[in-house]
Structure 1
Amino acid sequence: MEPPPLAVDIDGTLTDGTGALDFRACSVVADWPAPVVVATGKSFPYPVSLCQFLGIPVRIIAENGGVVAVADTDAVEFLGDRAAAQAVVEAYEAAGYDIGYAETDFANRWRETEVALSRSAPLEPLTELAEEHGLEVIDTGYAYHVKDPAMSKGAALSVVAEELGTEPSAFVAVGDSQNDASTFEVAGDAVAVANADDAARAAADRITDAGYGDGFREAVDRYRQ
């Protein structure tokens, strides 16, 4: 059986428990014989850099579905509006709350379609303000993200699949967080690693015994026989 296309999260899936990349997991991605889509909540440059350092074509979903880039077709699409999310954050700060990042704010410096806040920031008032603006807040386990509810990794995977001439159901998807649940809903095989949150577990077809990078390798082992 030929390995299927792969959609893989970064944080909590290709990393270890400290947040560093698990190089054994990354070597599997680098050697994967079918197309790989790196799907992350991180801002646009991060997954592009990961693809380049792994020596694989840039096929990425960034910012929880807000950005799609597919080198095969020279496609770059922005599927969300940062200005709307920024308005929520400005109202949040005007109410006296802090987003929890230093002034340099590398979490948002290159972000195009949403805004991320530290998980130390009070969540309830942020959620209320987002709802007032017709937006939502998702908790990836690493940050709170203010975004358009229509924007998701699953919707973005459909865009990537079309660019690649295939269907989302052709993919095996591996992840660990609430933002991976939408990917799991459209992928043909959805796998949550053992450290996954409740939303990812509920949407997954199966859950690995191991967590983080070890869980990723376990998730795809059946396709490497």
Structure 2
Amino acid sequence: MTPPLAVDIDGTLTGPDRGLDPRVMPVLQEWDAPVVVATGKAFPYPVALCEFLAIPITVIAENGGVVAVAGEEIVFTGDPEGAWAVAEEYEAAGYDLGWDEPDFVNRWRETEIAVALDQPLDPLERIAADHGLEVVDTGFAYHVKTPDVDKGKGLKAVARTLDLDPEDFVAVGDSENDVATFETAGRSIAVANADERALAAADEVTDDSYGAGFLEAVEAIRGEDVR
């Protein structure tokens, strides 16, 4: 029996160039159980991915800040006003969010803000802490978010909506924002390019990286071992 799947996008379904690995598309389209796209990206991105794959829209976006299941209520958590206050104070201190204009990374965010990895982290963490927020490094950006919001809680919310147990899910990901998902799902697999926290939290680790690692994880889910 095919288990439901919770899968990250960047670094998991993509290549190192951040482009979607085309080999993952038929796998997601043909998955014979619910697929939850769980990402740090802004809300419209996972919705669009589901739409273009022609699979049900079941998403956890913005590191758990937005949870949506097609036909159900969209739930927003977090502190967007606080996150933007952090961004304004960070910029007033002489720093920058680090994105080209127009800023498509943050334009449609509902619950957090993202700062480019080439920007100074220490002052961002300090300012975020002053506002009661935290910074999470997803490997693609620094995300300023509410501390009690994460993908794991998002997965629990999705599971309730789908009348499933979170432990029914297999989670596949690559970064520290996937750790909560790994701890919530019944089985977790990190792709080889995952960061140290994700590697330590995962039940299994693939030999291959990025989209190829996801395909290897799929084989493991279907009955073949991963180291």
| Residue of structure 1 equivalent to 2:154 | 156
Structure 2 length-normalised TM: 0.96
| Residue of structure 2 equivalent to 1:132 | 130
Could you tell me which amino acid in structure 2 is paired with residue 144 of structure 1? Y
Gaps of 5+ in 2: none
Q: In the aligned structure 2, how far is the partner of 1:52 from the partner of 1:147? A: 26
Matched, 1:19 2:10: no
Q: In the aligned structure 2, how far is the partner of 1:103 from the partner of 1:10? A: 23
- Provide Cα deviations, 1:172-223, integer angstroms capped at 9, x if missing partner: 0000011000000010110000000001111100100001111111112133
- Select between 16-25 and 51-60 the one with higher mean Cα deviation: 16-25
Matched, 1:143 2:141: yes
Q: CA RMSD in A?
A: 0.9
Q: In the aligned structure 2, how far is the partner of 1:169 from the partner of 1:211? A: 25
Q: In the aligned structure 2, how far is the partner of 1:223 from the partner of 1:99? A: 39
In the TM superposition, residue 115 of structure 1 has moved relative to its aligned partner by: 0.3
What SS class does the counterpart of residue 78 from structure 2 fall into?
A: coil
Q: In the aligned structure 2, how far is the partner of 1:141 from the partner of 1:17? A: 11
| Residue of structure 1 equivalent to 2:2 | 3
Q: How does 1:102-141 map to 2 (within 5 A)?
A: 102-141=100-139
Q: In the aligned structure 2, how far is the partner of 1:24 from the partner of 1:159? A: 29
Matched, 1:59 2:58: yes
Matched, 1:34 2:37: no
Structure 1 length-normalised TM: 0.97
| Residue of structure 1 equivalent to 2:220 | 222
- Select between 155-164 and 213-222 the one with higher mean Cα deviation: 213-222
Q: In the aligned structure 1, how far is the partner of 2:222 from the partner of 2:21? A: 18
| Residue of structure 1 equivalent to 2:205 | 207
| Residue of structure 1 equivalent to 2:95 | 97
Could you tell me which amino acid in structure 2 is paired with residue 166 of structure 1? L
| Residue of structure 1 equivalent to 2:168 | 170
- Provide Cα deviations, 1:150-171, integer angstroms capped at 9, x if missing partner: 1100011000000000111110
Q: In the aligned structure 2, how far is the partner of 1:222 from the partner of 1:130? A: 39
Q: In the aligned structure 1, how far is the partner of 2:222 from the partner of 2:122? A: 44
- Provide Cα deviations, 1:37-86, integer angstroms capped at 9, x if missing partner: 00000000000000011110000000010000101x42210011211100
Could you tell me which amino acid in structure 1 is paired with residue 40 of structure 2? G
Moved over 4 A (4+): none
Q: In the aligned structure 2, how far is the partner of 1:9 from the partner of 1:222? A: 17
The percent of aligned pairs where both chains have the same amino acid is 61
Could you tell me which amino acid in structure 2 is paired with residue 26 of structure 1? M
Q: In the aligned structure 2, how far is the partner of 1:26 from the partner of 1:181? A: 24
Q: In the aligned structure 1, how far is the partner of 2:170 from the partner of 2:215? A: 13
Could you tell me which amino acid in structure 2 is paired with residue 173 of structure 1? A
Q: In the aligned structure 2, how far is the partner of 1:125 from the partner of 1:63? A: 22
